[in-house]
Chains A and B, each alone.
Chain A
Amino acid sequence: MKMEDEESLLVKKIRNGTVIDHIPAGLSFLVLKVLGITRDERGKVAVLMNAESRKIGKKDIVKVENRELSPQEVQKIAIIAPNATLNIIKDFKVERKIKLYLPNKVTGVLRCTNPYCITNKSEEPIVSSLELVSSEPIVLRCTYCGTKQDYKQILRSLEEPLS
Chain B
Amino acid sequence: MFEMWKGRDVISILDFSRTDLEELFDRADYVLKSDLREKPLDGKIMATAFFEPSTRTRLSFESAMLRLGGSNIGFAEAGTSSQVKGENFADTIRMLDNYSDIIVLRHPLEGAARFAAEISNSPVVNAGDGKREHPTQAMLDLYAIKRNFGKIDGLTYCVLGDLKYSRAAASFVLGLTRFNPDRIYLVSPPQLSVREEIKDHLKMLNIKFDEKAELREVLHEIDVLYVTRIQRERFPDLREYEALKNSYVVDAKMLENAKSNLAILHPLPRVNELSLDVDKTKMAKYFEQARMGVYVRMALLRLIFGV
Binding site for B on A (CB under 8 A): 112, 114, 116-119, 121, 123-126, 141-148
Contact = CB atoms under 8 A, between A and B. Distances in A.
Interface in B108-155: 108-112, 114-115, 129-132
A123 B110 CA distance: 15
B301 to A, nearest CB: 25
B249 interface: no
Given A118-B114, A124-B89, A146-B132, 16 more contacts: A112-B111, A116-B108, A116-B130, A117-B111, A118-B112, A119-B115, A121-B88, A121-B109, A124-B88, A124-B90, A125-B90, A143-B114, A144-B110, A144-B114, A145-B111, A145-B130
B131 to A, nearest CB: 8
A118 B197 contact: no
B196 interface: yes
B88 A118 contact: no
Given A124-B115, A126-B115, A144-B114, A118 B109 contact: yes
Contact of A123 (B88, B132, B196, B197): B88
B115 A146 contact: no
Interface of B: 88-90, 107-112, 114-115, 129-132, 196-197
Contacts, number: 53
Chain B facing A: main interface SS: mixed
A125 B112 CA distance: 12
A47 B132 CA distance: 44
Contacts of A141: 197
Chain A facing B: main interface SS: loop
A9 to B, nearest CB: 50
A118 B132 contact: no
Nearest to A112: B111
Given A145-B132, A146-B132, A148-B197, A116 B110 contact: yes
Contacts of A143: 111, 114
A123 B90 CA distance: 9
Nearest to B12: A146
- The 6 A-B residue pairs whose C-beta atoms are closest, nearest first, are A144-B111, A145-B110, A145-B111, A118-B111, A118-B109, A123-B88
20 contacts: A112-B111, A116-B108, A118-B109, A118-B110, A118-B112, A119-B111, A121-B88, A121-B89, A121-B109, A124-B89, A124-B90, A124-B115, A126-B90, A142-B111, A144-B115, A145-B130, A145-B132, A146-B197, A148-B196, A148-B197
Nearest to B200: A148
A30 to B, nearest CB: 26
Contacts of B196: 148
Nearest to B118: A126
Contacts of B131: 116
